Amino acid sequence: MKKWITGALAILLGVMSIGIPFSGVHEAEAKTTDDKLKIVTTIFPEYEWTKAVLGECESEAELTMLLDNGTDLHSFQPAVKDIMEVSSCDLLIYVGGESDAWIEDALKSAQNKDMKTINLMEVLGDTIKEEETVEGMQGGEHKHDHAEEEEKEYDEHVWTSLRNASVVCEAIAATLEEMDPENKDTYQANARNYEAKLSSLDKEYQKTADSAKQNTLIFADRFPFRYLVDDYGLNYYAAFSGCSAESEASFKTVTFLAEKVDELGVNSVLTIEKSDDRIAQTVIENTKTKNQSIHELNSMQSITSEEIKNGMTYLSVMEDNLKVLQEVLN
């Protein structure tokens, strides 16, 4: 896919590749020929955070979310218009993991040489975690056998941490202040107000974890919530890692999860959003009591523009996830 993207950019943009140094927030002489700042975000959380920091200044910007049709980050195939959006914007905000390799190619041929970029994984620096394989996770034995041969893979789902969200919001505010100094006070105030909401919700999560009767989640699905559980000292077992493309659990994996449900006495099995629950149902059928409920945590990997129009926000999703945890941990 990289070759296709590079070729498409060369034909469409007709420019030579340019090197853009990366250090989380990229420094450049931010100047746009239009009155409105053109801001491109790749996923829903970035879009939400930027919208919150812009606040009343949103009318002075053109804010776009690329992955707005329910396609998640790991399976996204950029169209020509997506490459053009990235190439010509004033500010690009993206995750920066392996799934965003196409963006790195697009930036080499960017039309806007004064573009600023915010790479979430670079902004968060040392807090980024390696992809984890826990006991019973499908494919774990294979990865262990070849651990020395494989390059490190990093967990891209940084947005599931409210604490990470606060750090990124500060970076967004600082960048907008540089690009639009006239509205500096507004961006600072909006960021402070939003970070206060994140902090308040973070405290509620911690309170829930501290008072929980259980401290282990059983996921019959992919597990993109490592940053969240690590923030609050929770444990988990899951069928697949967060970035896994697998969807069919082996008998061994199902049996392991079912035995963990019995061993720990948990009353719920979890899935991520838009799961068909097949694996969860099979796990429950293999437990002793076969009466566990199925609950969903939303990892915000496939939020659509329609859901945003209907009022879904980053905070509302995280509040709903908290309610789920309050139920399954007690």
CB 129 within 8 A of CB 227: yes
pLDDT above 70 (res 23)? no
For residue 328, report the phi and psi dihedrals to the nearest 5 degrees.
-80, -20
Could you tell me the domains of the chain? 2-126+156-198 (3.40.50.1980), 213-311+320-328 (3.40.50.1980)
* Interval 67-110: pLDDT, tens: 888 777 777 888 889 899 999 999 999 999 888 989 988 888 88
Q: Using one digit for the tens of pLDDT, what is the confidence trace for 204-259? A: 999 999 999 999 999 999 999 999 999 999 999 999 986 666 668 899 999 999 99
Q: Rounded to an integer, what distance in angstroms lies between the CA atom of residue 152 and that of residue 165?
A: 24
Strands, E assignment, 69-215: 91-94, 116-119
pTM, two decimals, is: 0.86
Percent of the chain having pLDDT more than 70? 85
For the chain, the average pLDDT equals: 87
Q: What is the DSSP letter of 91?
A: E
Question: Residue 173 carries which DSSP code?
Answer: H
Q: Tens digits of per-residue pLDDT, 129-188?
A: 998 889 999 875 544 444 455 678 899 999 999 999 999 999 999 999 999 999 999 999
Rounded distance, CA 47 to CA 164, Å? 15
Residue 199 has pLDDT above 80, yes or no: yes
Beta bridge partners of 237: 218
